């Protein structure tokens, strides 16, 4: 049986550190509407699509009223996270998805409600929303890269290990859009286990958002290979598991950091069919 699904890979440009959430959401709405005009049934956004890539800064979690390592209020850190989804700010995106009958996949920083021990958890999260505006699945990043402690020798920090926990849930698939979908985030795409675990669950399409800088501080000799490695791992994952892969980036120069871009839709043959 032949099935068709029109997917839009909505690459984003830079998001400034002081850009209001409302302005970012307007940009997402513009892309969602553009996707609808092209006949898209699903639009895929990048990792941490609602904010700048804040792990590039060392922010002290010292509580309200404190000062962070670069001179800002420590309240700034929590401001990058979503405490509920949909939230008051993001509800308009869900409403528009329902009105247009276009689903979306969105990456964001998640701050959970307190658990039984009173502890709140921080995850790098992606969610899949169907054409009725309902959340059908969420995924929390498994492979957390970077470092945890302040490393001022870097041109910019990569403090994902400071600001996010590893997922306790692993990789799961979700039934939506007439098929079986999996999700992954950025560094997850570099490891074969990501695609294999999803493939064993019958994934027909894997949706991946990423923010990848062109500069790799620990070993700059790898910088010329960033583009090669990016497509290599996604094409291999698609081919080896017979699944479509949609990899969506944030591109451009964001707060002085140049990002890779190279958004691509990859067929189960491993061939890039759109870039």
Active-site choice (105, 110, 141, 250): 141
Q: What's the rounded Cα separation, in Å, for the pair 43 and 150?
A: 36
Nearest-CA neighbor of 241 among 199, 181, 204? 199
Q: Is 165 an active-site residue?
A: no
Q: Is 47 an active-site residue?
A: yes
Cis peptide before 86 (omega within 30 of 0): yes
Active-site choice (41, 47, 204, 254): 47
The 3-state DSSP class for residue 107 equals strand
CA angle (66 as vertex; 77, 140 as ends), nearest 5: 20
Tell me the backbone φ, ψ of residue 239, rounded to 5 degrees.
-65, -45
Q: What's the rounded Cα separation, in Å, for the pair 64 and 35?
A: 40
Nearest-CA neighbor of 6 among 31, 45, 38? 38
Beta partners for residue 92, in sequence order: none
Nearest-CA neighbor of 132 among 157, 106, 87, 99? 99
239 contacts 194 by C-beta, under 8 angstroms:
no
Active-site choice (186, 204, 250, 254): 186
Roughly how many angstroms between the first and final C-alpha of the chain, as a whole number? 27
Cβ atoms < 10 Å from Cβ of 1: 2
| Catalytic positions | 47, 141, 186
């Amino acid at each position: 049986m032949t099935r068709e699904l029109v997917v839009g890979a909505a690459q984003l440009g830079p998001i400034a550190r002081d850009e209001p959430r409302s302005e970012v959401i307007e940009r997402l709405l513009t892309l969602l509407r553009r996707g609808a005009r092209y006949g898209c049934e699903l639009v895929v956004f990048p990792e941490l699509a609602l904010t700048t890539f804040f792990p590039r800064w060392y922010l002290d979690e010292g509580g309200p009223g404190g000062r962070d390592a670069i001179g800002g209020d420590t309240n700034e850190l929590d401001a990058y996270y979503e405490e509920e989804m949909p939230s008051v700010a993001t509800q308009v995106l869900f409403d528009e998805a329902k009105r247009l009958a276009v689903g979306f996949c969105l990456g964001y920083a998640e701050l959970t409600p307190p658990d039984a021990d009173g502890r709140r958890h921080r995850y790098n999260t992606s969610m899949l929303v169907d054409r009725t505006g309902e959340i059908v699945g969420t995924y929390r990043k498994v492979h957390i890269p970077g470092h945890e402690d302040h490393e001022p020798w870097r041109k910019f920090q990569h403090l994902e290990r400071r600001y996010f926990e590893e997922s306790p849930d692993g990789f799961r698939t979700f039934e939506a859009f007439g098929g079986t979908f999996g999700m992954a985030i950025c560094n997850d795409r570099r490891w074969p286990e990501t695609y294999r675990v999803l493939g064993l669950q019958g994934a027909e399409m894997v949706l991946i958002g990423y923010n990848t800088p062109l500069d790799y501080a620990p070993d700059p000799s790898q910088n010329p290979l960033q583009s090669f490695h990016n497509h290599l791992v996604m094409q291999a994952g698609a081919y080896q598991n017979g699944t479509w892969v949609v990899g969506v980036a944030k591109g451009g120069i964001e707060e002085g950091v140049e990002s890779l871009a190279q958004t691509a839709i990859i067929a189960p043959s491993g061939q890039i069919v759109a870039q």
